[in-house]
């Protein structure tokens, strides 16, 4: 996987390259990343990357020229490495980042991620050089760096070999369209709070069913929209009936 990131604050991406799972994945050469500051492609002494918006209004808009040059150069590097580039702009007006979108992006192998700042980006850049806009939620941040890192982290952990246990990614929330089940570890009894007995039984079939039932109950309580969009299996329908009966 090859990431090309365009940001005014390249140093922020040390959080990805120097910490945790994503740092280990980089050391294993599971992905490559290059962060470009668009000021590199400016022509004036002040390295200007923004200007006042036409039509008036508050704030500044990022200039098209330095961003366009940075994107074109990033795409060229990907092509030179035999990778088809896909350009993403992190924006609150983009489509939501979901597990399905993460898996689709992982399979693309070459992402150019624009982490913009200020009030926005000249629309002509978005119309001509950006393939899609992606949002991590219905709120506004100071810039696109944190959303870009969220996207990168989500994609990198899905790369084969990124996690110590290959099954870990398959057990995450949203992978099967449900929220994750509760987890427990030592001690067995903490101040009178005990681990559910089924998890101590060694009966893997019972444990699997318990976990599925817990996932269904949590999803119904916290994210009913996920269940509404789901085609239930016979087992899931049965377990939901049990949950309903137990709640009355």
According to the model, what pLDDT value does residue 151 have?
Answer: 98
Q: Is the pLDDT of residue 194 over 70?
A: yes
- Which of 130, 129, 147 lies closest to 138, judged by CA? 147
According to the model, what pLDDT value does residue 169 have?
Answer: 62
Sheet of strand 110-114: strand arrangement: 32-36, 2-6, 110-114, 86-96, 132-135
Residue 221 parent element (H or E): helix 204-222
Bridge partners of residue 62, in order along the sequence:
50, 121
pLDDT band at 111 (very low <50, low <70, confident <90, very high): very high
DSSP three-state, residue 3? strand
DSSP letter for each residue of 72-84: HHHHHHHHHTT--
Q: Report the share of the chain in percent with pLDDT over 90.
A: 91
Q: Residues 216-234: what's their mean pLDDT?
A: 94
Q: Residues 61-66: what's their mean pLDDT?
A: 97
The tokens describing 125, both together, are 């850049």
User: Which residues are CB-contacts of 39 (< 8 A; sequence separation ≥ 6)?
Assistant: 8, 47, 49, 66
- Pairwise CA distance, residues 15 & 32, whole Å: 15
User: Which residues are CB-contacts of 21 (< 8 A; sequence separation ≥ 6)?
Assistant: 153, 156, 157, 162, 163
Q: Report the share of the chain in percent with pLDDT over 70.
A: 96
Q: Is 204 left (phi over 0), alpha (psi -120 to 50) or beta?
A: alpha
Query: Using one digit for the tens of pLDDT, what is the confidence trace for 12-63?
Result: 999 999 999 999 999 999 999 999 999 999 999 999 999 999 999 999 999 9
Residue 234 parent element (H or E): helix 234-247
The tokens describing 157, both together, are 């952990």
Q: Is the pLDDT of residue 210 over 80?
A: yes
How high does pLDDT run on average in the chain?
95
> Residue 114 in contact with residue 36, Cβ under 8 Å?
no
List C-alpha distances in Å: 3 to 16, 93, 179.
Answer: 12, 22, 29
- Which of 123, 227, 135, 140 lies closest to 179, judged by CA? 227
Higher pLDDT, 229 or 38: 38
- Pairwise CA distance, residues 182 & 196, whole Å: 10
According to the model, what pLDDT value does residue 172 have?
Answer: 63
Query: Using one digit for the tens of pLDDT, what is the confidence trace for 139-170?
Result: 999 999 999 999 999 999 999 999 976 656 66
- Pairwise CA distance, residues 163 & 168, whole Å: 7
List of domains in the chain: 2-156 (3.40.1280.10), 173-247 (1.10.1270.20)
Query: Using one digit for the tens of pLDDT, what is the confidence trace for 69-97?
Result: 999 999 999 999 999 999 999 999 999 99
According to the model, what pLDDT value does residue 171 have?
Answer: 61
Say if residue 187 is preceded by a cis peptide, omega within 30 of 0. Answer: yes
pLDDT band at 224 (very low <50, low <70, confident <90, very high): very high
Catalytic residues: 92, 119, 157, 172
Q: Is the pLDDT of residue 174 over 90?
A: no
């Amino acid at each position: 996987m090859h990431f090309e990131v365009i940001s005014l604050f390249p140093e922020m991406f040390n959080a990805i390259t120097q910490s945790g799972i994503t740092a280990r994945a980089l050391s294993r050469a599971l992905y490559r990343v290059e962060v470009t500051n668009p000021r590199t492609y400016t022509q004036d002494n002040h390295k200007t990357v923004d200007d006042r918006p036409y039509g008036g209004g508050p704030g500044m808009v990022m200039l098209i020229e330095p961003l366009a040059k940075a994107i074109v150069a990033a795409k060229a590097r990907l092509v030179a490495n035999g990778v088809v580039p896909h350009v993403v702009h992190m924006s609150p007006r983009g489509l939501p980042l979901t597990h399905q979108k993460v898996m689709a992006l992982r399979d693309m192998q070459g992402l150019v991620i624009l982490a913009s700042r200020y009030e926005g980006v000249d629309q002509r850049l978005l119309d001509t050089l950006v393939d899609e806009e992606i949002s991590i939620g219905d709120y506004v941040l100071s810039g696109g760096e944190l959303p870009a890192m969220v996207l990168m982290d989500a994609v990198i952990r899905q790369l084969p070999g990124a996690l110590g246990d290959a099954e870990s990614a398959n057990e995450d929330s949203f992978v099967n369209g449900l929220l994750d089940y509760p987890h427990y570890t030592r001690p067995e009894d903490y101040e009178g709070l005990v681990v559910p007995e089924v998890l101590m039984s060694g009966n893997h079939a019972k444990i699997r069913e318990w976990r599925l039932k817990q996932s269904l109950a949590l999803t119904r309580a916290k994210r009913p929209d996920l269940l509404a969009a789901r085609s239930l299996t016979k087992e899931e329908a049965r377990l939901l009936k049990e949950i309903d009966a137990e709640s009355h």
